[in-house]
Amino acid sequence: MNYQKVKKNNFRGMSYRVVQLANSKNRIKLHKKDQVWLKEKCFKNIGWDNVINLYQKIEEFIDSYQFEELTLEELFIEADRIGNRYLTSQEIKNYNQSLSKEVNEVAEEIDKQFPETEIEFIDFSQNINIKYKKKYNQKIYRTVKI
pLDDT tens-digit profile of 58-116?
A: 999 988 887 777 788 888 888 888 888 888 889 889 988 999 999 999 999 988 888 77
What SS3 class is residue 145? strand
Residues 6+ apart with CB under 8 A from 146: 118, 119, 120, 121
Tens-place pLDDT, residues 113-126: 887 777 777 777 76
Residues 120/108, Cβ–Cβ less than 8 Å: no
CA atoms of 83 and 85, how far apart (whole Å)? 5
Q: What is the pLDDT of residue 81?
A: 83
Band the pLDDT of 23: cuts 50, 70, 90: very high
Mean pLDDT of the region 47-62? 92
